[in-house]
């Protein structure tokens, strides 16, 4: 099975879902025009890390994000690994990935399990409790969110269940640790003998400059493609 992968390595407007939704719409269109089978978006693409404004910004049950991603998947007939968005459920906030198949059907929903203290995530966000495996065009796959890649045993346990052949990673990974980004992703590819597809955002927010360098890595750890900063 051969899959053409699209990675949306985009900037994110802090606390501005409308502007960010337009970016996501534009990239789905570009992906469809170039025959992409699976499109991956970055972490927290609706809002960025506007964590102090989650009361106002978090997507209730993820309804708005899910409707948009489902519609784009169906309209363009592409699978979408929807990065992640800030969601609100039962008076708690989560960092949630939604995955949709080509027919607009949701195939997975995952709340980030390892919260990143250096970006204050654990002060505002509730950790998820389960892993994230799904099947896209017959390819067994898994998805993780940013800091999750620093937990190799946990990733390995999830990847071994299939075994999963493809690991999708969505991120807001700062430039200052970008060398670790690459090394960690190559390690996850090698130890799981799987492809790794990783989307990192570019641009900056009030606290961080983000490093881009989105990657596709083969099961031997070789870099198949790497974006710039
Ligand atoms: N958004 C994140 O989880 C960032 C993780 C990160 O930067 C790291 O070094 O780990």
Predicted local confidence at residue 1, as pLDDT: 83
Tell me how far apart the alpha carbons of residues 3 and 193 are, in angstroms, rounded to a whole number.
17
pTM, whole model, 2 decimals? Answer: 0.98
Ligand 1 centroid from CA 69, angstroms: 24
Q: Per-residue DSSP letters for 55-89?
A: HHHSEETTHHHHHHHHHHHHHHT-EEE---EEEEE
Q: Long-range contacts: 102-107, Cβ < 8 Å, 24+?
A: 102/73, 102/74, 102/77, 102/78, 102/137, 103/73, 103/74, 104/70, 104/71, 104/73, 104/74, 105/70, 106/66, 106/70, 107/134, 107/135, 107/136
Contact 164, 142 (CB under 8 A): yes
**Residue in 2, 4, 30, 43 annotated catalytic:** 43
Tell me how far apart the alpha carbons of residues 199 and 214 are, in angstroms, rounded to a whole number.
5
Predicted local confidence at residue 22, as pLDDT: 98
The answer to whether domain 5-226 has CATH 3.90.220.20 is no
What one-character DSSP code corresponds to residue 15? T
User: How confident is the prediction along the chain (229 residues), in pLDDT tens digits per residue?
Assistant: 899 999 999 999 999 999 999 999 999 999 999 999 999 999 999 999 999 999 999 999 999 999 999 999 999 999 999 999 999 999 999 999 999 999 999 999 999 999 999 999 999 999 999 999 999 999 999 999 999 999 999 999 999 999 999 999 999 999 999 999 999 999 999 999 999 999 999 999 999 999 999 999 999 999 999 999 9
Q: What is the complex's ipTM, to 2 decimals?
A: 0.99
Contact 59, 85 (CB under 8 A): yes
- Ligand 1: does its nearest atom lie under 6 Å from the Cβ of 150? yes
Domain boundaries, the chain: 5-226
**Residue in 109, 112, 165, 172 annotated catalytic:** 112
- Ligand 1: does its nearest atom lie under 6 Å from the Cβ of 211? no
- List the residue whose alpha carbon is closest to atom 10 of ligand 1: 147
Ligand 1 centroid from CA 51, angstroms: 15
- List the residue whose alpha carbon is closest to atom 8 of ligand 1: 147
Predicted local confidence at residue 26, as pLDDT: 98
Predicted local confidence at residue 210, as pLDDT: 98
């Amino acid at each position: 099975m051969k899959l053409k992968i699209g990675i949306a390595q985009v900037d994110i407007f802090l606390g501005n879902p409308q502007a960010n939704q337009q970016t996501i719409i534009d990239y789905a269109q570009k992906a469809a025009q170039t025959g992409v089978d699976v499109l991956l978006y970055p972490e927290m693409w609706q809002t960025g890390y506007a964590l102090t404004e989650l009361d106002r910004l978090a997507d209730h049950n993820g309804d708005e994000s899910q409707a948009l991603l489902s519609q784009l998947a169906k309209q363009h007939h592409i699978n979408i690994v929807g990065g992640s968005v800030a969601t609100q459920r039962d008076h708690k906030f989560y960092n949630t990935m939604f995955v949709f198949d080509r027919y607009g059907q949701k195939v997975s929903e995952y709340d980030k399990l390892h919260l990143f203290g250096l970006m204050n995530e654990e002060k505002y966000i509730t950790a998820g409790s389960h892993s994230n495996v799904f099947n896209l065009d017959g390819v067994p796959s898994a998805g993780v969110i940013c800091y999750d890649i620093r937990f190799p045993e946990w990733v390995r346990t999830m990847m071994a269940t299939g075994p999963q052949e493809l690991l999708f990673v969505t991120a807001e990974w700062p430039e200052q640790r970008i060398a670790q980004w690459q090394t960690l992703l190559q390690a996850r590819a090698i130890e799981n003998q799987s492809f790794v597809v990783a989307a990192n955002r570019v641009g900056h927010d009030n606290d961080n400059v983000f490093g881009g360098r989105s990657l596709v890595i083969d099961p031997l750890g070789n870099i198949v493609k790497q974006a710039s900063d």
